[in-house]
Every structure is written in C-alpha cells, then in structure tokens.
Amino acid sequence: MIGRLKGTLVHKQPPWLIVDVHGVGYELEAPMSTIYDLPELGQEVILFTHYAQKEDSVSLYGFLRENERRLFREVQKVTGIGAKIALAILSGSSVADFLRQVQAGDTAALSRIPGIGKKTAERIVLELRDKAAEFPLGAGAVTAKSAAGAMAFDPMSEAVIALQQLGYKPAEASKMARDAADDGDSAEAIIRKALKAALR
C-alpha cells in the first residue's frame, strides 16, 4: 500500500495531479481543498495517499492533510457513498465545517453536496455523528505554499471540468463557473467561489 508520497509536482489539472518521485510519475486524484494549497509546478510536495483497488481499476488519492484523508476514508463507510462523493465533500467544505454539520444534524446543508440526497444525508448524520465528536481537528498537515500553478487549459475550462468531476452536470457546471468568474481569476479561484455559492 502507498501511504505517502514525496516528490515534484509536475502536473495539475483539477482534480488530477502527477507527482514525480525519482523519475516515476504517480497520477493522483485530489479534492479541491488540497489543490487550493498546492505549491507551484516544479516544487516539492508531500501528500498523504489512499490506495484503492477494484476489479477493473486501481486509483490513488492524494491529500495535504491527514485529517482530510481520514475523513475521506470514514465517509465511504456510510452506505451509498463512494470515492467521488467523498471528494465532493472535501472539495465543498473544510473538515471542521462538515463535522459541525454532521453533529448539528444539518441534513439540508449536507444535501447540497453533489451526489448526496436527503436519505444519504440522514445516513451520514446517523452513522458519523458519534465519530464526528471525537474526530481530530488539529493541523495534521504538511505545509505547502498556496499557489495557482500552471494549467493545461484556460481557467474557465479547467473550472468547468473540475466541477463536472465533482458531480455537477455539464450545463450546471458551466453556469456555476460563468457566474463565479471574474477577470483574471485562476481555475482554483473560480471553483472555490462556485462551490461556495452552490453550497451556501
């Protein structure tokens, strides 16, 4: 199992990253909470990782903070939640905000996350409320400089692609990105504002 990677960030196209470790490029999927805080391309990065193997695929997920990886794993123990929804949770809110919503039984807020309906939100509250009260909220993080980094496409296209990866339909993702974007915004800035507006 791969639990941690330390290498050079060579590619970033939300939600995908490639980290070069001694000449081997590891492709990872990461939540926006991690992508927002990545260093510039060409800089060193340290990621906590989660390795998942299915019958027809192998996936590697990367997180700057240990508590994000732990939450990613915990929420997938809830019936009906897989990796895609777990990434959407971490992309739309901080660990602390999500846990507060769970403890408060705020199913309305949880239902605004892509892929989570009312029944799934109720299951999350039922199954995670006790764990949420004991969940560590300490830093548990590897520090990294926050930077936009270079993108393969224009920021608007990157934002739309990332929003679709998080579960929004193409037309909805395009509208969210257009409504959120200001001149000069990076893809991360557009995504952050679009998610904030959608989950408000």
Backbone angles phi, psi at 135, to 5 degrees: -75, 130
Dist. CA 190–CA 158, nearest whole Å: 9
3-state helix, strand, coil in the chain (%, to 5): 45, 20, 35
Please report, for the chain, the start and end positions of each structural domain, with discontinuous segments joined by +: 4-63, 70-134, 155-198
Query: What string of pLDDT tens digits covers the 200 residues of the chain?
Result: 788 999 999 999 888 999 999 999 999 999 988 988 899 999 999 999 999 988 888 899 999 998 899 999 999 999 889 999 999 888 877 888 888 889 889 999 898 888 888 999 999 999 998 888 777 654 443 333 332 333 345 778 778 878 877 778 778 888 888 898 888 888 888 888 888 888 77
Q: Is the pTM of this model over 0.75?
A: no
The three-class DSSP label of residue 58 is strand
Question: Residue length, the chain?
Answer: 200
**155-198 adopts what CATH topology?**
Helicase, Ruva Protein; domain 3 (1.10.8)
The answer as to CATH 1.10.150.20 being correct for domain 70-134 is yes
- At the second CATH level, the architecture of 4-63 is Beta Barrel (2.40)
